[in-house]
Amino acid sequence: MEKIGPKYKICRRLGSDVFEKCQTQKFVLSESKKSKTGRRGKRPKMLTDYGRQLLEKQKVRFMYGLSEKQFKNLVNKAIDKKGKESTSSLYENLESRLDNIVFRLGLAPTRRMARQMVSHGHILVNGKKTTVPSYSLVKGDKIAIREGSKNKGPFTVLESDKISSPKWMKFDYKKMEGEIIGEPMYADKEANMDLNTVIEFYSK
In a domain, 197, yes or no: yes
| The pLDDT of residue 201 is above 80 | yes
In a domain, 56, yes or no: yes
Distance CA 55, CA 164 (A): 30
Looking at the fold, whether 108 and 157 belong to one and the same domain comes out as: yes
In a domain, 120, yes or no: yes
Please state, for a pLDDT cut of 70, what percent of the chain lies above it: 72
pLDDT of residue 87: 92
The closest of 58, 92, 61, 62 to 77, measured between CA atoms, is 92
In a domain, 143, yes or no: yes
Distance CA 10, CA 29 (A): 16
pLDDT of residue 181: 96
What confidence tier does 114 reach under pLDDT thresholds 50, 70, 90?
very high
| The pLDDT of residue 20 is above 80 | no
Looking at the fold, whether 106 and 77 belong to one and the same domain comes out as: no
Mean pLDDT for the chain overall? 82
Looking at the fold, whether 134 and 160 belong to one and the same domain comes out as: yes
Instruction: Tell me the HSE value of 25 on the side-chain side, using a 13 A CA sphere.
Output: 0
Looking at the fold, whether 11 and 88 belong to one and the same domain comes out as: yes
Regarding predicted confidence, which is higher, 169 or 152? 169
What confidence tier does 151 reach under pLDDT thresholds 50, 70, 90?
confident
Looking at the fold, whether 80 and 126 belong to one and the same domain comes out as: no
pLDDT of residue 190: 62
In a domain, 12, yes or no: yes
In a domain, 186, yes or no: no
pLDDT of residue 42: 57
- Domain with 164 in it: 97-180
Looking at the fold, whether 86 and 129 belong to one and the same domain comes out as: no
**Confidence (pTM):** 0.76
Looking at the fold, whether 75 and 114 belong to one and the same domain comes out as: no
Looking at the fold, whether 53 and 78 belong to one and the same domain comes out as: yes
Tally Cβ neighbours within 10 Å of residue 12.
17
pLDDT of residue 155: 78
Looking at the fold, whether 169 and 124 belong to one and the same domain comes out as: yes
Total domains in the chain come to 2
In a domain, 24, yes or no: yes
Regarding predicted confidence, which is higher, 39 or 97? 97
CATH number at residue 78: 1.10.1050.10
Beta strands in the chain (DSSP E): 123-125, 128-129, 142-145, 169-172, 177-180
| The pLDDT of residue 104 is above 70 | yes
pLDDT of residue 71: 96
Looking at the fold, whether 89 and 143 belong to one and the same domain comes out as: no
In a domain, 185, yes or no: no
Looking at the fold, whether 28 and 102 belong to one and the same domain comes out as: no
Looking at the fold, whether 115 and 128 belong to one and the same domain comes out as: yes
| The pLDDT of residue 193 is above 70 | yes
| 24-83 pLDDT tens trace | 555 555 555 555 555 555 555 677 889 999 999 999 999 999 999 999 999 999 998 866
CATH number at residue 133: 3.10.290.10
pLDDT of residue 153: 74
